[in-house]
Structure 1
Amino acid sequence: MTSLLAGICQIRSNIKTKRVSSYDRSGGNADWIEIKAGETAELALIPRAGIIKHIWITLMTPDPMIRRNAVIRMYWDQEQAPSVEAPLGDFFGQGWGEEYNFVSLPLAAAPSAGKALNCYFPMPFGDGARITLENQSEHAIERFYYYVDYEEHLTMPETMGRFHAWWNKELTESHPEEGETEWGIVGPQGSNRSDANNYLLADIAGKGHFVGVNYYVDNPGPMWYGEGDDMWIVDGEPWPGSLHGTGTEDFFNSSWCPNEIYLHPYFGYARIPQHKLGWMGRTHCCRFMMEDPVYFDKSLRASIEHGHDNALTLDICTVSYWYQMEPHKVFPPLPAKESRGNMPEINHTDVHRWRHEWRKALGSGKTLWGHERE
């Protein structure tokens, strides 16, 4: 196995290290740009060939949802459709517009309190690169600080894939006739012999390899959300495909319905529900497949069940990351800002109302405890 530091001592030629940043061109200390409401700022326009090695961003604005309301896009080799398109926070590893610390090898949200966004995914290009930030908020980003650190090369080998990232969101539907019966609690469970109703992680055309996903799930009930299997259909093969998983927590390299913060360079749980009633609330899982990417020659359909047999209603958002040869399949239109918002948080008063309806269904007995069944 090659060490991450194996090449650090090698002296290379015909490479220049460069940076685009928001530094104060006057020599002062106003090292930021302002991005007005509705404005798209061009953060970097890099000519010729090179590799972006690191991106760092922090910002200040009165909009508490700016991480969902600002959209980052990246274009390689003069392309017109972006290869990267995602809300700013979701791309860097923060869901729901929130700020919290996040640690992984390729992405991090660093102190103070997750306000420093970092990306170490290498991003090659052969004929120019362009990065933009669109402020879809009603408020200005009053201060936007950033670095884009890159290498300038004379040429780029044809074997170098281009970096891609795609954001998706779905309020999933409970598909089986029996409803939300995870673990068979309210009725028998069915069998799922297709990926048709799964949550879609990526639908890719071309040759490349899939390298990771940030998975943000908001669960409106206390039941475990993670019985869903991951499914990978490579090059149009029939179901069940080359890779078929055994459960959401298994794909994210954990086990037995975790509900605790845990961060490894390649996987982890960066956010868990604040109010502990089972698994009700917001959880952020991640998996970066640096040692085990999924390779494809023609296409890849990556998906995951939302509960076994897609039994659960969940609010799921993801950012998937991969490399491929261009041209890429153009992404579906990014949902409007209003459609990217969060579902209301379920709280203790909602649960009490559920109990009230359950008590009425059982005759409104005065000592009903909660375990009784019809």
Structure 2
Amino acid sequence: MVRKTILKAKNVNYDNSKVTLIDSSTDRDIQNKTATMCNELDINYIYRDTLRGYKAGSINDAIEEFKDEYQYILILDSDHRLKSSIFHDLIPIMENDPDLTFIQTPQYFHKQPNDHLSIAYSFQQHIFYKHICRGLCVNGSSYICGTNVLIKLEHLNEIGGMDESCITEDIATSFIFHSNGYKSLYIDKVYAEGLAPPSLSAYYGQQMRWSYGTFQNTKKVLNKFIKEPKSLKSLQWWEYIILNGSWYFIGVGIFIWLLYPIIVLLFNMKPLVLGYLNVPFYLFLIMIMSQTFTSFRERRYPLKELILAQGLFFSLFPVYTKAFIYGLLNKKLEFKVTPKKEVYKIQLKEILPQLTVIFLLIIAIIVGTYKVINGENTSTYPSIIFWASYSLIMLMIFMLYFYREDKNKYND
């Protein structure tokens, strides 16, 4: 995988560009093989015997070795294979705007045949890179997204390099750039294609790291807002505090969403209603239909993958909630790179929260249906039962994927 990435990067061939591989592996055999490969392919090889700063530290160590030899650095994950036109397209844009600090391009993930997780994951990323990133760019708030980003080294050195204090160094460094008046740009053109997480364990690990890092950075953002409210424009503060800062709170939101019909149907809590309409539920349905329509139109995603994407999204509530609690308590989370091959098999106990909610939803639907049959609250309970049924179906789709596909990716 890495060899193919290097060969694609070497094809860029722009002026004095040079490919550098940064190796932080603790496995001596992997180190030797990687160093030999880099020598064969005639690229720079940097080995780090420390995990200081993790990915940010690796980039900063590489910058120290570059000295003043290069003007730009293109950060690329080991699985992302470049198109040769990237420098020819992006560097002239940088040259024409001395104040422009970085250009972020989309992460596009290869959809593996018969791997429904990779297709569903690609759909989830499509929403962010096709829609959210465009909006961020309008407000001058484009984020560095870990890979496929071109950065002006002079500006990166001026802020002291990548932020090593946050587990998601990309968003943290973006905030430092923006709060110091640097400009950013997002260009919605695919210049590299990568690999989606290969399994649920890899996917959950990635989402855990991203959400935890977001909570870490949000604390810094809020502190900066209190002390230096004029360091960003109002719309930039909105993007960092409300959009980015609150996004992974959605795990708690999903959990509340799942519990709401259970509490209403089992504990007789009065539901939130407006006439015969249950407003939150129907707004959610409108959002789902909107996502489905735009995804069909833009990327021709199969319906079953779109449904699986929703099921996976629902299943993330324990992951996001755990990240929220860890961030709140300042509990340290170990940095782990998202693996590109299958890792450990998720055990049944690790999806116990999802199984518990499934059980409670089934009971709630049965109890609610019994109440409606007996003439109790017939104006609102049917919509609450439908709400619970939809949530149950999404979680059951996740369980079906877990048993039929994810478990088959591992060798016992």
Same fold, judged at TM 0.5 (above):
no
- Normalising by the residue count of structure 1, what TM-score does the alignment of the two structures yield? 0.24
- Normalising by the residue count of structure 2, what TM-score does the alignment of the two structures yield? 0.22
Q: Which has the higher contact order (CA 8 A, sep 6+)?
A: 1
Whichever structure has more strand as a proportion of its residues is 1
